[in-house]
Structure 1
Amino acid sequence: MAEHKSTAVALGAFICFEDEAGQGLKPPRGRTWGRRGVTPVVKISNAGTKRVNLVALLAFRPAARPRVRLIHRSLVYHGWKNEKKGFDEQDFIRLMDAAHQRLHAPIVLVWDNLNRHKSATIRALIASRSAPELNPVEGVWAVMKSGLVNLVKRDIDQIQQLVKQRLRHMQYRPDLLTGLLAKTGLDPQPP
């Protein structure tokens, strides 16, 4: 990481961590209070494969006081015939282009080994843009999903609305985003 941080400083670039997640109608497991001897039960509709797919970039520029930014996209899968189930290479390319436009700087991208990240289309894109090849975005998903515990949602569109709202709130909490970056043990200071 130190090598890419030096590269990012030399280029004036942002280091961007990317990750994907999803949420269906079944809420994440959590704990709650209840009267002694009475176990609280939350009834949910678990039918179908409806899902909100999410992708996010956590971007920072190595500096004495880095400003961390969150860029995210969502895609709803309702289970309809011929509907796209998840993000494809073109969606990832559009996300990276949006990051370039929003950040007004080059980016050094750090992502996992998802098969779509290693496809011929993505490898060709990276090669054409001369981009170099730990993830604090996992913390974004943990914070977002902790806010969904014990909430009963009737349909997938309600989940998308809640997810977008929670991610939007995180975008305006730079202290939270900086904390998620620091929790990984990465030093945002220039080398």
Structure 2
Amino acid sequence: MAAHQKGALENRAWIVFFDESGISLLPQVRRTYAPRGRTPVLGHRLSNWKRASMAAAVGYHAADPGRGARLCFDLRPGTYDTTALIDVLTRLKDFYTGERVVLIWDGLPAHRSRAMRDWLAEQDWLTVERLPAYAPELNPVEMLWASLKNAELANLAGEYLADTAHAARAGITRICNDDQLAWSFLAHTGLTIHPRPTTNQPTKTSVGVLTTEVEYSPDWA
């Protein structure tokens, strides 16, 4: 990734990591405390298989760590296809208005479709690079998903998909309110953005922008 970093540094671009994940009414089972002899029981609606999808983009400025980290988040019912992802990237463009972006993501088929390639070819603000195959540990967004699933989504057995969606959005707010979490996600990957942030430079994460304002329609029931 050194060559990508050099180009981003020369262009004073943002290096933005992107990833998708899913949520449903099936609880994320995690270890928890309980009175001795009273094993916790999670009840969930096996008859409801509706799912929602989340996408997150965590950005770090290649030349000026003092500008902090940026987090964009998208949440919608169903799954992502090329059309939905282009909508997310269009909103990402609005968030980075006037900035250059190097977007780093995996090899999901929707990322490599002809429609996506045609759209990307028209974007002069955006350069796209692919993560190595089978290397999710290099994507800081994976740590963001882990943070959500070990906190707000842990052992959550909501009655409706909207309950799970609301918890996910609360988790994003928590992450945005912590000045260091976005940087810790990057540190966990072992990657560094040059120049590295120092202790006397502000590193506050920009307020998370929900790139899709979710209305809890019947699709979330």
Q: Same fold (TM over 0.5)?
A: yes
Separation in 2 of the partners of 1:121 and 1:187? 32
| Residue 160 (structure 1) shift | 1.1
Match of 1:113 among 100, 107, 114: 107
Aligned residues: 183
Q: Does 2:82 match 1:89?
A: yes
**Is 1:128–2:129 an aligned residue pair?**
no
Give me the whole-angstrom Cα distance separating, in 2, the residues matched to 1:132 and 1:23.
26
2:12, 2:100 within 8 Å by CA — same for their partners in 1? yes
Shift of 1:110: 0.6
Match of 1:144 among 136, 145, 148: 148
Matched residue, 2:93: 100
Q: CA deviation at 1:60?
A: 0.8
Counterparts of 2:172 and 2:29 in 1: how far apart (Å)?
Answer: 19
Counterpart-to-counterpart distance in 1, 2:39 and 2:183: 38
Match runs of 1:28-107 below 5 Å? 28-63=28-63, 65=65, 67-76=68-77, 85-104=78-97, 105-107=99-101
Fraction of identical pairs, as percent = 30
Distance 1:90 1:173 in 2: 32
How high is the TM-score relative to the length of structure 1? 0.88
Distance 2:31 2:157 in 1: 15
Gaps of 5+ in 1: 77-84
| Paired amino acid for 1:116 | A
Aligned-residue offset at 1:178 = 0.8
Distance, in Å, in 2 between the alignment partners of 1:29 and 1:108 is 35
* CA–CA distance in structure 1, aligned partners of residues 148 and 46 of structure 2: 20
Greater alpha carbon shift after TM alignment, 88-97 vs 19-28? 88-97
Partner of 1:173: 178
Q: Deviations over 1:109-128 (max 9, x none)?
A: 11011110010011122233
C-alpha distance in 2, partners of 1:92/1:71? 13
Q: Is the 8 A contact 2:19 2:56 kept in 1?
A: yes
Residue 165 of structure 1: how far off its partner (Å): 1.7
Q: Which amino acid aligns with 1:92?
A: L
In the aligned structure 2, how far is the partner of 1:86 from the partner of 1:100?
21
**Alpha-carbon distance, 1:102 to partner:** 1.4
